[in-house]
Amino acid sequence: MTGTDEVAGALRSLGLSAPGRCPTCNVSTALLGATCKHCKERFCLAHAQAEVHGCGPDARKAARAGVRAEVAGLPARKPSALQDKARAACVNLRLRLAV
């Protein structure tokens, strides 16, 4: 075991990762890697997805917030006259059947 491996092992035991290395598998991320937008750590391509390296709940919250923001920005749909007539017909039918 070289000195570099010992340092990387000590960092991993403390919950830290060596710079330029994937915190999960210790593979070099200097050439190919992705930075997680939730935890800001750099991962190899095998662990780049948030769900794979442990940021799944944060990613889910962010996705839901994005959908809510998109929906909130849309104009409210006004029901068409045909929908109003169909709704009125259903209400009248229920009222007749309830008697």
pTM (predicted TM-score): 0.55
Nearest CA-CA partner of 23 in 3, 48, 4, 1? 48
pLDDT at 82: 73
Cβ contacts of residue 20 below 8 Å, gap of 6+? 28, 29, 30, 42
- Token pair 């930075």 is found at 35
Q: What is the pLDDT of residues 17-52, one digit of tens each?
A: 678 889 888 889 888 899 999 898 999 999 999 999
Q: From CA 51, how far away is CA 59, in angstroms rounded? A: 8
Q: What sections of 1-99 are H helices per DSSP?
A: 3-13, 50-53, 56-73, 81-98
